[in-house]
Structure formats: structure tokens, C-alpha cells
Amino acid sequence: MEHNEAIPYLRELVVFLVAAGIVVPVFHRLRVSPVLGFLMVGLAIGPFGLALFADTLPALAYVTIGDIDGVRLIAEFGVMFLLFTIGLELSLDRLWQLRRLVFGLGLGQILLTGTAIAGIAMLFGNAAPAAIVLGCCLALSSTAIVMQLLVETRRSATPMGRASFAMLLMQDLAVVPILLLLGFLAAAQPGADGNATLLPQLGETLLGAALAIGGIVLFGRYLLAPLYRLVGAAKSPELFMALTLLVVIAMAAATGIAGLSMALGAFLAGLLLAESEYRHAVEVSIEPFKGLLLGLFFLSVGMGIDLRVALDHAGWVLVSVIGLFVLKGGIIGLLALLFGQGRAVALEMALLLGQGGEFAFVVVGLAERLGLLQLDVAQFMLLVVSLSMALTPLTAQLGRRLAQAIGHRTATRDHGIAGRDDEDLEGHVLICGFGRVGQTVARVLDSENIPWAALDHDAMTVARERDAGRPVHYGDASHGELLGKLGAARAQVLVVTLDDPVAAGRLVSAARSAWPALPVLARARDIPHADQLRGLGASDVVAEAEEASLQLGAMALEQTGLPDEAVRQRMERIRTAAVKRAVRGGRPG
């Protein structure tokens, strides 16, 4: 395989794509969570799975992956993109509204869980620094797995989903203090350089963090929207996607260079874009990358599970995993009740968030290198964390069933992650195309105080309307995903005013397929175009050219002295006849 050395990780990439494109869909058909599917596939093709038999069966070397570190390095991008989309689905105002759950429920959970785990670790003979490390890393849950499960089950905007997200957000914010704490503990170790050099290093770290976050906020506030406006004016999906990837990676790199979590930079980037008219288009463009890279992350977690060690210490591993869920879940459930959540919500949160998180891999590995944890303890805890993450899809499903069994059904309808004002709309009118026709429709709706939201592909039009305070968003309306982001499933009617016949037809067809009960009103250029749109599923169509000629004809009749009622009746008969001809496929002369 020497000829493949020019492309790093080519074999690993092929194996992953086979898993993503073939194996995981089989799990989906069997109604097994894709997260659990990736974890199981990772366990099978990893260095502790089928690769163990590669010496006996050389062919297995082509379908297994031995380099976990390389895979995990790439997989970290999946967590970055996940945090970016979470930021997109929030806003600074909504984040402030969640402050009680974030800084109350979330912070309380970290402190209580970390203290309890650290105390248990000391009872088992671990030194105080090692116990603190274990308490800190095991107090955090898996943002990647939990948020993906919430999205899959369409539960992220439920009360349980909102409270879980608030807790996970506080855990992500705690990453920086925990890393700083590790530095303190390492400096205080016997044989370390001491505290003399620690304070300057801490000062430099805090200063770098402040500069990085400040730079990201300033860039996002004053330069991000104009930059997207410039690229959006080119109407090139490729350039738009390239800019989005650049923003995510550049801002993540900025926080990474400053010694912070790269995922934090990606989250800030999404949070800043959440206030702009481009958030829906950005999320649609980034979704395939996020899904694939998150799959790679789950695959890497499964690859890290060594079943041989688990079997050698089966009793202790089983007790540790169960104990983690019981202790951590119990604290989460009690805190949820104290913060006003219902019994069903508290129970489901306990089983959903009781696992260890991906940050434990970072903390445990760093603590082992700094001499805070012994190698055997570090490996054992990583195994416990990996197994707890692998079990999460099953415990989450158990939590949903138990929540329903106690009589408080938490499965409310959800169309996206909490925090979107547009997606909270219900009974609104969705306008696709905000040119002169779309603007006229919006003015009519405003006169009756009927809520509406609009999509348009012209960046300058969107910018102008947003400056005027109108709910107009950037994006190609012919893509059904964007309509879903704007709550098409809850809209009263969809109005299609696109002047591109091909795009209008594609949109009408997609809307009728996705939402059969949604009334679709469309603008057509002429009778043949109107006939085509009706055939694709439009509820009613107005042929622009014919309607203009009818209005001119009506004015002419009025000028001749014909009574208004007679003119109206004559126009209605002509319109009815035109519609009948269109339905029959006739062509007016």
C-alpha cells in the first residue's frame, strides 16, 4: 500500500465512509440510533476489535483502523461544528433568558457531582490532586452524544431539551477553568517548578483568552455580516460554504491558540451569526459536514473501547459505569426538581446526562502526562467513560419510556433546537421571494397584523429589509430544508413569488411532498406556467401576465361607463374560463 502514502489516512477514510454509507443505514433500518451504530462499528473495526486478528487474517488489515489518535484528531472537528450549530440556534437574548438554568442548574450540577466523585475517589486511595481531576472530568457529560440524540428524537425544544442544553452549555464553559486548575495542581506537585512561574503563566493565559474572545466578538459584530453580504451577493453556494467553513475553523483556531477550547470559538462564531439573516442558510450548508464529522467522532469513541481490559476487570468496570450513572444522574434529577422541572423531565435528564463526556479524554490524558494520574488509573477511567457514552442511547431511550410511564408525556412537537424566534412562529404566512410581489403580499399581511417570514436569495434586498426590521432571511427558497427552518410545518400558507420558473416549480414540488396539507399559493408568468405549477401541487396560481391584462381590461370597461358590478362579473367569468382551459391543458388565444 505504499502508493497510498501520499494521501494520509486514505484507508481509514474509506473504511469510515463504508461504515457511514452502508453499515449505519442498516442500523437505522433496524431502528437503532445512528449514534449507537457508529459506536458499535467503531468497536468492531478499531484496534481492539477485528484488528486483533489481522495477523491471522491479513485481509482484515484493509477493513480495520489502528490509528486512533489520527482519527480522533479529525473527529474533533465534528464537536466543533456541533457547537457552532448550537450557537446558531441560540441568540444572546435567548442565552440571557436561560441564565437561571445555565448558571444555577448547570453550575450546581458541576460542583456537586465533581465534589461527590472526588470524595469517592479519595476513599479508594487516590491522592487529592488525582481525585480532583477525576471529579472535574466525570462531572461533565457528552455534548456531542446528548445533543445528537435530542436532534434525532426532535426533542431539543421541549422543557427537558432546554434544561439539558443549559446544563451542557455550562459544562462547556467550565472547560477553561478546569484546564487552568490542572495547571495549578501540576505546579503544586512535588518536584514541579513551584508556584513562582505559575502566576505569570496564568496571567498570560487569561490575557490571551480575553484577547481571543474580544477579537471574535468584535469581528462578529462589525465584520461578519458585511462579509456574508458580500459573498451572498455573488449567489454562489460554493463561496457561501467556503466562507462558513473559514469562519468556523478560524474562530476555533483563535481560541485554540489562546489556550482555550476550540469548540468554544466555534460556539461563539455560531452565537454571533445567530442574530443575522444568514443563520438558516449557514446551518443548511454546514449540516452535511457536521453529521459526517460527528459520525467520525462517535466512531473514534467506539474504537477506544478495549473489551479485553473490560473483561479482565468486568466487575469493577460494571460497578463504575453503573455507579457513575446512579450518582451523577441522581444529582441531576434532584437539582432539576429543585429548579422547577417536572418529575418526568428530571428522570429523563438523569438518564440522558449521566454518562462521562468527550472532554474526559482531554483531561485524563493531560493529567497523566503531568503526573497527576497513574497510567493504570487513567486507562481504567477512559474505559469507564467510553462505555458510559456507548450506553447513552440505550439509557436515553429508557428515560423516555419511564417518563411516559409516570403519566407526564414530555414528547412535545419540535422542529429544531431551542432559541429560534422564527421557528417559534405558528399560524404564520411563509413568503418565498421578496421582490415587488412578495413585498406587496407582506404589506397586505401587515395591514391585518398577520405574522409572516420571508426568504430571498438577493443579499442586498435581505440586508435592506433586515435593517428595516422585517423578518426576511437569506437563502435559496427552492431548498426545502430552509422552509423547515422557518416553520413551514406550522405555517397557514406558503406563498411562492419567485420569478424563476424552474426554481418556483422545484419549490412547489418540494413543499407539496414535505407538507401535503400546507396550502401553496404561487405566482406564474403565464397560463402555461400556471398549468405546470398546478400539476406540481400548487393549491392556487395567479398568472401574472394574464392578471395584468384583465385589470387593464377592467379599467377600460369602467371608462366606457359599464357599471362596476357588471365589470366584476365579466372579469370573474373570464378568470374562470382561463382556469378551466389551463386545467384541460388548453392555450388561450
Instruction: Summarize pLDDT for 522-562 with one digit per residue, the tens.
Output: 888 777 888 888 888 888 887 776 666 666 666 776 667 67
pLDDT reading at 195 higher than 50: no
| CATH architecture assigned to 422-584 | 3-Layer(aba) Sandwich (3.40)
Helix residue ranges, H only, 153-224: 159-173, 175-187, 198-219
Contact criterion met (CB below 8 Å) for 479 and 287: no
User: Which range is least confidently modeled, 149-163, 346-360, 425-439?
Assistant: 149-163
What does residue 192 show for φ and ψ, rounded to 5 degrees? Answer: -80, 170
Please write the tens of the pLDDT for every residue from 574-588.
666 655 554 444 333
Q: What pLDDT does 321 receive?
A: 92
Query: Which CATH code is given to the segment(s) 78-224+240-267+323-405?
Result: 1.20.1530.20
Q: What is the mean pLDDT of residues 467-479?
A: 79
Among 320-324, 425-429, 459-463, which range has the highest average pLDDT? 320-324
Q: Is 29 in contact with 379 (CB distance < 8 Å)?
A: no
Residue 112 has pLDDT above 90, yes or no: yes
Query: Phi/psi class of residue 542: alpha, beta or left (left: φ > 0; alpha: ψ in -120 to 50)?
Result: beta
Residue 349 in contact with residue 341, Cβ under 8 Å? yes
Amino acid letter for position 469: G
For residue 588, the model assigns a pLDDT of 37
User: Which letter does DSSP use for residue 515 in this model?
Assistant: -
User: Which three cell numbers mark 156?
Assistant: 431539543
pLDDT in tens, 222-248: 788 788 888 878 878 888 888 888 888
pLDDT of 2-17, one tens digit each?
444 555 567 777 777 7
Instruction: State pTM to two decimals.
Output: 0.59
Mean pLDDT for all residues in the chain: 77
Q: Is the pLDDT of residue 294 over 80?
A: no
Band of the pLDDT at 408, cuts 50, 70, 90?
A: very low
- Which stretch, 81-90, 132-141, 560-569, has highest mean pLDDT? 132-141
Burial class (CB in 10 A: 0-12, 13-18, 19+), 84: buried
Ranking 143-147, 204-208, 390-394, 449-453 by mean pLDDT, the lowest is 204-208
What's phi and psi for 494, nearest 5 deg?
A: -110, 125
pLDDT tier at 324, thresholds 50, 70, 90? very high
pLDDT for the residue numbered 109: 94
SS3 of 255-280: HHHCCCCHHHHHHHHHHHHCCCCCHH
Q: What would the grid cell of residue 67 be? A: 490509528
**DSSP label at 127?**
-
The Cα-based distances of 98 to 271, 331, 348 in angstroms read 14, 20, 19
Q: Which residue has the cell 413551514?
A: 488
Angle formed by the axes of helices 279-303 and 34-45, nearest 10°: 40
What average pLDDT does this structure show over 322-326? 93
What is the pLDDT, as a whole number, of residue 141? 92
Would you list the domain boundaries of the chain?
Answer: 78-224+240-267+323-405, 422-584
What integer pLDDT is reported at residue 336 of this predicted model? 92
Proportion of the chain above pLDDT 90, given as a percent? 9
Q: Return d(Cα 154, Cα 156) in angstroms, integer.
A: 6
Secondary structure (3-state) at 454: strand
For position 175, what pLDDT does the model report?
74
| 414 has a pLDDT exceeding 60 | no
The answer to whether residue 411 scores a pLDDT higher than 60 is no
Q: What is the mean pLDDT of residues 427-444?
A: 84
Q: Are 150 and 156 in contact (CB under 8 A)?
A: yes
Which pLDDT score is estimated for 415?
Answer: 33
